[in-house]
Chain A
Amino acid sequence: MIQRDDQGRKRARAAPWLLLGPGMLFLFLFFFFPLYTLLEMSLSASPSRFASPVFTWEWANYSEALTQYGEQFSRSFLYATLATLAALAIAYPLAYVIAFRGGRYKNVLLGMVIVPFFTNFLIRTLAWKTIVGDQGMVVDMLRTVGILGEHESLLRRPIAVIGGLTYNFLPFMVLPIYVSLEKIDTRLVDAARDLYSTTWRAFRKIVFPLSLPGVFAGSLLVFIPAAGDFVNAYYLGSTKTTMIGNVVQNQFLVQVDYPVAAALSFVFMAIVMVIVAVYSKLLGTEDIA
């Protein structure tokens, strides 16, 4: 009897580890281990152009990463911020309408938000290139109404890159916001209106604060991949819109300077982590019941 209890307790203690096991193993093999090799690489130096890099505590890689690419770094975070704001501005009303006015079409509308994902990321970006291309309808229209000059175009300008980022990551903003709005008990809005609040005040004081967790999750899901993206800047931009992703890609695949590329990746990661930490502090989402 006592023995069985002991065994049971042992098993109960082992259970969480057994459940964690596969995931941890996967993470270790395919995330922590490569991360470690990348870290090692970022502190290595190649003796010659064609020799493999050797670990030598080569801090110079970091000074190069920090000093040479400030422009691309700041451009990446600026574009990502603008794309996040644009996605928020588009996604919030969209999610709001689906959550509160969707009725029985809710799932259909949500499906339409996700449909673009059935297409490859690259294809979507190329489609966007066609849409805002010089022969496309958008440019045509903007030229007709005089917003764009006769020989001006949208492509190769920051707005094309930011637009592409917004377009590609929009569903990541819509879905979490939708989920947090959907959870809100509409009786809370009734209660606010009962307590002398206009619909607008009810939104500001009740609905929006309660949807902040979704806004928080959505903006991270858009901001982080957008900041690291290189496809949009590559296809839609020019040399004046290069983002840090393009630099890393170039260093890895064209220059074959692995150490600097690795150092750039680490600097990027560090900055993102600081931004996320500050952001979550500001929004204080863990506070929301």
Chain B
Amino acid sequence: MEGEAYVRDTEQGERSLLPELDSEGAIDAVISIDHVTKRFGEFVAVDDANFHISRGEFFSMLGPSGCGKTTTLRMIAGFEQPSSGEIRLDGKDVSRVPPYKRHVNTVFQQYALFPHMNVWDNVAFGLRATKVSKPEIVRRVTELLAVVHLADFATRRPGQLSGGQQQRVALARALVNYPSALLLDEPLGALDLKLRQAMQLELKRIQREVGITFVFVTHDQEEALTMSDRIAVMNEGRVVQIGTPQEIYEEPTSEFVAGFIGMANLLAARCEGSDGEFRIARIGDQAVKVASNGLAIGDEVTLMVRPERAHLRTSAPPMDLAGVSAEVVDLVFQGPIVRFDLRSPDGTPLVAHVGPGSDLPLLRPGDQVWMCWEPSAGRLLPRSTQGFPRPDVLEY
């Protein structure tokens, strides 16, 4: 329910999420997840997920392990059935339809290629199960092997291929059926970093080329940001936010999203008043201006500032900047930026990325500075009841 409230302020959310539009399916939604809950015994794996995936979209489900993203994907594929709610594919309720009767195909985590068949037979497997004519099978398999650049490997066994090639066979095997949507379950997880980055671009290219909806499950926020048109961030079975990568990054609606996507400074604050279009938030004994986003005056809130939006000063900031005093804990030269690890007077760890062209004097651990930012760069989030994300989440 939290998720739904937030999703409403996002642009796409408004279009696809308001329940009134649900029943009509008026929008070009390939997949509709309609208030779906999945329980395994007592454990709630997916809690009231409710969203649509549009035709031709690259849609990611992002979250830490155990957040319900894979379960959601398996429900779309048909391997699990929702405990309540409805899943619609091309407008038809498929909640109780077995996988082999659903026009979606999956790229599995470890590819799950058939080891006793060569590449050609692997790719042709789905077509041979349906009533596709022989010449059409040959045409389509040839076409898809060309798309994934594996035309010369048709007679190889999966065991004779590299990880990246196996990945592409898995992709071709699914896409050759021209599914309504392609479901990808952490397909890049088994590849090393370089190959993974190459495959990210390759996947994007293939998606543009075939124009099929991709539903991509990942725990890697960078991957999701790089590839997606829209991202659904999930945590503990709930969809906490849906939006474009930019919205998710710049306008997170919860501490979790702020901490999970990129790095975030999270400061405990209290909403004290307003000043025109800004709210005044109090952090310790400092009052800072911050863009308003509907939180009520008097609320305990969390103020989020991205490290790259923060800069450092050795003196108190002027009235038009927001800032908090802090102590330098460590500084790390990272090439394009210098990363400052700071600590606020109440002990909150802070991070600032300082780029070239700043006129800071030489700073050492122990020095007192001010971490400042434009009021529009700060963002107020409701205080989560679970406390701040752990530092290692923050560093993610």
Residues of A within 8 A of B (CB): 185, 187-188, 190-198, 201, 205-206, 209-210, 287-289
Asked if B108 contacts A201 (CB within 8 A), the reply is: no
Interface string of B162-192 (1 = CB under 8 A from A): 0000000000011001000000000000000
Q: Which of B98-106, B271-279, B384-392 contacts A (4 or more CB under 8 A)?
A: B98-106
Closest chain-A Cβ to B288's Cβ sits at a distance in Å of 52
A selection of 30 A-B contacts at a CB cut-off of 8 Å is A185-B110, A187-B108, A187-B109, A187-B112, A188-B115, A190-B99, A190-B106, A190-B108, A191-B108, A191-B113, A192-B114, A193-B99, A194-B77, A194-B78, A194-B100, A194-B174, A195-B125, A195-B126, A195-B129, A196-B101, A196-B130, A196-B177, A197-B100, A197-B129, A201-B129, A205-B114, A205-B125, A206-B114, A288-B116, A289-B158
Contact (Cβ within 8 A) B129 A209: no
Q: How far is the CB of A104 from chain B (nearest CB, A)?
A: 16
Q: How many A-B residue pairs have CB under 8 A?
A: 68
- In the complex, what residues of A have CB within 8 A of residue B100's CB? 193-198
Residue of B nearest to A197 (CB): B129
B98 pairs with A289, CB closer than 8 A:
no
Known A-B contacts A194-B100, A195-B173, A289-B159; A188 and B129 likewise in contact (beta carbons under 8 Å): no
Does B8 reach chain A (CB closer than 8 Å)? no
Specify which chain A residues have a CB less than 8 angstroms from the CB of B109 in the assembled complex: 187
Of the candidates B78, B99, B109, B130, the one having the most CB atoms from chain A within 10 angstroms of its own CB is B99
B396 at the binding interface (Cβ < 8 Å)? no
Chain B hits for A198, CB < 8 A:
100
- B residues bordering A, Cβ < 8 Å? 77-79, 98-101, 104-106, 108-110, 112-116, 125-126, 129-130, 157-159, 173-174, 177
5 A-B pairs with the lowest CB-CB distances in the bound complex, closest first? A195-B126, A196-B129, A191-B112, A187-B112, A289-B115
Q: Complex formed: what's the CA distance from A210 to B79 in Å?
A: 22
B116 and A210 within 8 A (CB):
yes
- Chain B residues with CB under 8 Å of A195's CB are 100, 105, 125-126, 129, 173-174, 177
- Report how far A287 CA is from B177 CA in the complex, Å: 28
Q: How far is the CA of A87 from the CA of B349 in the complex (A)?
A: 69
Q: Tell me which of A185, A196, A197, A209 has the highest count of chain B C-beta atoms within 10 A of its own C-beta.
A: A196
Shortest beta-carbon distance from B124 to chain A in Å: 10
Point out the residues of chain A lying under 8 angstroms from B79, CB to CB: 190, 193-194
Contact in complex: B114, A191 (CB < 8 Å): yes
Chain A residues whose C-beta falls within 8 Å of the C-beta of B116 in the assembled complex: 209-210, 287-289
In the assembled complex, the CB of A237 is this many whole angstroms from the nearest CB of chain B, namely 41
Question: How far is A190 from B114 in the complex, measured between Cα atoms in Å?
Answer: 11
List the B residue with the shortest CB-CB distance to A184. Answer: B115
B99 close to A194 (CB less than 8 A): yes
Contacts of A190 in B (CB 8 A): 79, 99, 106, 108, 112
How far, in angstroms, from A196 to B174 measured CA to CA in the complex? 11
Whole-angstrom CA separation of A243 from B130 in the bound complex: 50
Since A195-B174, A206-B114 are in contact, a sample of 19 more A-B pairs with Cβ atoms closer than 8 Å, ordered by chain A residue number, is: A187-B109, A187-B110, A190-B99, A191-B108, A191-B114, A193-B98, A193-B99, A195-B100, A195-B173, A195-B177, A196-B129, A197-B100, A197-B129, A205-B114, A205-B125, A210-B115, A287-B116, A289-B157, A289-B159
Q: How far is the CB of A225 from chain B (nearest CB, A)?
A: 29
Return the contact of B112 from the options A185, A197, A201, A210 (Cβ within 8 A): A185
Across-interface contacts of B106 in A (CB, < 8 A): 190-191, 194
**In the assembly, what is the distance between CA of A197 and CA of B130, in Å?**
8
Shortest A181–chain B CB gap in Å is 14
- When distances are taken between beta carbons in the complex, the residues of chain A under 8 Å from B99 are 190, 193-194
Please, which residues of chain B bring their CB within 8 A of the CB of A192? 114, 125
CA A219 – CA B104 in complex, angstroms? 40
Which residues of B sit under 8 angstroms from A287, Cβ to Cβ?
Answer: 116
C-alpha spacing A197/B109, complex, angstroms: 20
A205 to B114, CA, bound (A): 9
Tell me whether A188 and B126 are in contact in the complex, defined as CB-CB below 8 angstroms, given that A194-B106, A196-B100 are known contacts: no
Roughly how many angstroms separate A191 CA and B166 CA in the complex, as a whole number? 14
Q: How far is the CA of A129 from the CA of B114 in the complex (A)?
A: 46
CB B389 to nearest CB in A, in angstroms, measures: 32
